[in-house]
């Protein structure tokens, strides 16, 4: 007994369920991050907090979607690991620089560049350790 061929409605149902799941995961994450990254609490300017919250929510949605599609034990890809490290480093650097009372381009540029360098170095270190022969 063969299964019927999927039609356009099956594809629409899968896509709708996936987009709905993205919203269910992403919107609360984004709202929580916006509340936590409030300018009055952290000293981070509103625009920077908005960007950080958006990046964090996007990464949470991507990781959740990857885990649902690949299974709960699927490891993160190189890009996923780099983005996780990048967001963590960016958030820490932005909080430190924003809390120092500085404003302007440095509040966004320094954490962006610093997080990029840290994420690249972490992934380079992982590659070097993986290539080292085991005894």
Domains of the chain: which residue ranges? 9-131
What CA–CA distances, in Å, run from 86 to 66, 89, 93, 102? 18, 5, 10, 22
Predicted local distance difference test score (pLDDT) of residue 2? 60
| pTM for the structure as a whole | 0.54
28: left (phi over 0), alpha (psi -120 to 50) or beta: alpha
More confident residue, 1 or 109: 109
- pLDDT of res. 101: 64
Give the model's pLDDT for residue 9: 78
The pLDDT tens digits of the residues spanning 46-86 come to 877 888 888 888 888 887 887 777 766 667 677 777 777 77
pLDDT of residue 135: 66
């Amino acid at each position: 007994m063969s299964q019927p061929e999927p039609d356009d409605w099956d594809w629409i149902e899968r896509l709708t369920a996936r987009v709905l799941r993205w919203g269910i995961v992403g919107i609360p994450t984004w709202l929580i991050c916006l509340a936590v990254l409030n300018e009055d609490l952290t000293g981070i300017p509103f625009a920077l907090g908005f960007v950080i919250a958006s990046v964090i929510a996007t990464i949470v949605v991507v990781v959740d979607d990857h885990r649902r599609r690949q299974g709960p034990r699927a490891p993160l890809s190189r890009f996923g690991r780099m983005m996780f490290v990048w967001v963590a480093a960016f958030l820490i650097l932005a909080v430190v620089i924003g809390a120092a009372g500085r404003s302007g381009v440095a509040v966004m540029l320094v954490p962006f560049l610093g997080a990029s360098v840290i994420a690249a170095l972490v992934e380079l270190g992982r590659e070097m350790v993986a290539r080292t022969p085991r005894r």
